[in-house]
Structure 1
């Protein structure tokens, strides 16, 4: 008679715990390579002699990668397995961060492109791994790694200027140090590379019509409203984290304090994420929540515009708005659909188009600043984007489901 062995159960628990730690560390890398750029962007501009618009491309490139690489990420996972796709992406991320930090002008751009590709693959594959290994705890595990992601982003933002120094000469180290976090995550995740789990689909959900199961979101007016909301709220968020430190410095706030405000924005965003997630579950319509988040954004931008000396308050409002908005729109992928495959398709559609749209936000704000020589006009334009965000947030937040309560956008 065979008796189950306690050591085996202990081994499985240890492996499961190590996997969870690996997932959390992977989550910590999703923004830590991007958010420290904003606080040191002025130093990068000075060293490379580039305009504000061109410097903002450093934030926009990863967003373009999110949009363009996400559809092929399932193919990569299908070819190499989810575990090895994640491991390879972490290795690529570490290499990309190092290349971006080298005293080599082309390396700044090459490294940024590569880290965008790496993060895009992780963004797509990691939820599938969580679904496989923690099927009964998807929500909680996703919440944990999202919280870790925001916390790491806050730490990276807050440490950027102190590491770079008051003269900004150490900005390469301030960006390059986060290659170590990617390597730590890879080391902890390494035992998982022995496995090769293939995803159920080898094509992006956004491109998979599943016509026999449900209406494609590409033909739904409601789905396009969700997509517009995704793009607009992302535009506001990434424009803020790109330019808020520079706006504060132009108002006489020292770079270190501006960097800490960026860190504060990220930390408040984590708290807002948790709060908004609880509120979303208690409401049938998310229209008022979306409007509230937009009002917080508007208040923060107006505050920066008219009284930047209170940036510590405005950063908190903007952080709360950003954290709440992303939770609201991500929740809509499931709440506005009637089938899990349809939810995946809407998610792929909204994130691909939304991030591509948002990629132009920081660039346009930088162009307007270069053309006007001030930050008043760019902030007014961003305020207009918030108004559009509020409108589409209220439309997409209504208690409706794709294909049941509204006509198709096209025949």
Structure 2
């Protein structure tokens, strides 16, 4: 009986792991597929730089605005079924958004961002509940898979557009396919399973906790840099003389090299006294890569996008790790995830938008580079507070 129970637990854990990886693969293509063809979309739909900035900002804003819906959905449906519903809606939005003009594009992008926001909030709680002894490692692995999905979408969307006779609509809709596959796989591993519903939220509010706010600010500021890179780096590189396909490839490479640091940074930090040193290291690498991409001679761009990717892979995985290791239990981790991502992503949405405004105003990327440096310094300050070995809601 014990062996059968152990085998069943192992099988369920394996199915959950595979399901989580497929979900993680879909947490960025809706965003990173737009940047490489942003200029083409802008020309096709007559969008200004500000309009393009709004398009890159919208899904990030919805990541934050939809985050509070995740705990409510989990209480009503259970965390796993809430993820399934979000996956299904994401797939529909990805199919629909390219084919209904400007309004359809913006609405579909917003819905996709909201679905990703819900899933992003729920996954740390599932990790904390199902893999409590290896939360940092699991977070690193699914962050690496997330980065892989983002990289593939960034690098393949422009070649897909060319393969579809220069039509950007099917190239954008193509990324609904991984969402459909993930939804089917997630549904199969839930078959017959009665997923537990989370209890009603306790009275203690994370919004009154200083450490929770520091985590939220770090999440938001590092995310602001990430989504600015997703949305604007292809355009920056094209303006500096790189062909669109190579610009998309550069972003793809930058995202792909996030994989090793996404895994390594939380693992190394777990063997250190706390996460503060790692926060500084990865953010300095991120700022160095951004500065090199904007200001350094264009001949060295491959070095700078690699440095940028290594920094951003580590900074994002550390942010997700903080959601798990700064909480004492799965329920608190889910609540912290909701609070930090709601505040953080809403704040992060200003990054791509303001970069678009600054470029429109000054017709140059130089001022935007200074603005991004200020964001990075703020992330270091917040991360030094969030990286301390403390727990939220401790008196």
Instruction: Compute the TM-score of the two structures, normalised by the length of structure 1.
Output: 0.86
Q: Deviation string for 1:176-234 (max 9, x for gaps)? A: 1111111111222232254342322244xxxx443xxxxx5433434333322222111
* Separation of aligned partners in 1, 2:387 and 2:84: 37
Q: Which moved more, 1:40-49 or 1:136-145?
A: 136-145
* Separation of aligned partners in 2, 1:184 and 1:269: 24
When residues 107 and 166 of structure 1 are mapped into structure 2, their CA distance, relative to the original with a 3 A threshold, is same
Matched-pair contact (CA < 8 Å) for 1:293–1:325? yes
Cα-Cα RMSD: 2.9
Matched-pair contact (CA < 8 Å) for 2:77–2:197? no
Matched, 1:306 2:295: yes
Aligned-residue offset at 1:385? 1.5
Q: Which moved more, 1:386-395 or 1:111-120?
A: 386-395
In the other structure, the counterpart of 1:197 is: 195
Matched-pair contact (CA < 8 Å) for 1:74–1:201? no
In the other structure, the counterpart of 2:320 is: 330
Matched-pair contact (CA < 8 Å) for 2:121–2:341? no
* Separation of aligned partners in 1, 2:104 and 2:39: 18
Q: Which has the larger radius of gyration?
A: 1
In the other structure, the counterpart of 1:276 is: 265
Q: Deviation string for 1:215-257 (max 9, x for gaps)? A: x543343433332222211111111111111000001000111
Q: Deviation string for 1:344-379 (max 9, x for gaps)? A: 444332221111100111000001101111111111
In the other structure, the counterpart of 1:179 is: 176
When residues 393 and 343 of structure 1 are mapped into structure 2, their CA distance, relative to the original with a 3 A threshold, is same
In the other structure, the counterpart of 2:254 is: 265
For structure 1, which runs of at least 5 residues remain unmatched after alignment?
211-215, 406-411
Work out the number of aligned pairs and report it. 393
* Separation of aligned partners in 1, 2:336 and 2:17: 28
* Separation of aligned partners in 1, 2:287 and 2:354: 19
* Separation of aligned partners in 2, 1:202 and 1:164: 47
After TM superposition, list the pairs within 5 Å mapping 1:214-225 onto structure 2. 216-225=205-214
Q: Deviation string for 1:284-311 (max 9, x for gaps)? A: 2433322222221221222123223322
In the other structure, the counterpart of 1:113 is: 110
* Separation of aligned partners in 1, 2:292 and 2:315: 19
For structure 2, which runs of at least 5 residues remain unmatched after alignment?
none
* Separation of aligned partners in 1, 2:157 and 2:258: 19
Matched-pair contact (CA < 8 Å) for 1:83–1:195? no
Matched-pair contact (CA < 8 Å) for 1:222–1:402? yes
Matched, 1:255 2:244: yes
* Separation of aligned partners in 2, 1:338 and 1:166: 50
Instruction: Compute the TM-score of the two structures, normalised by the length of structure 2.
Output: 0.89
After TM superposition, list the pairs within 5 Å mapping 1:315-354 onto structure 2. 315-336=305-326, 342-354=332-344
Matched-pair contact (CA < 8 Å) for 2:215–2:319? yes
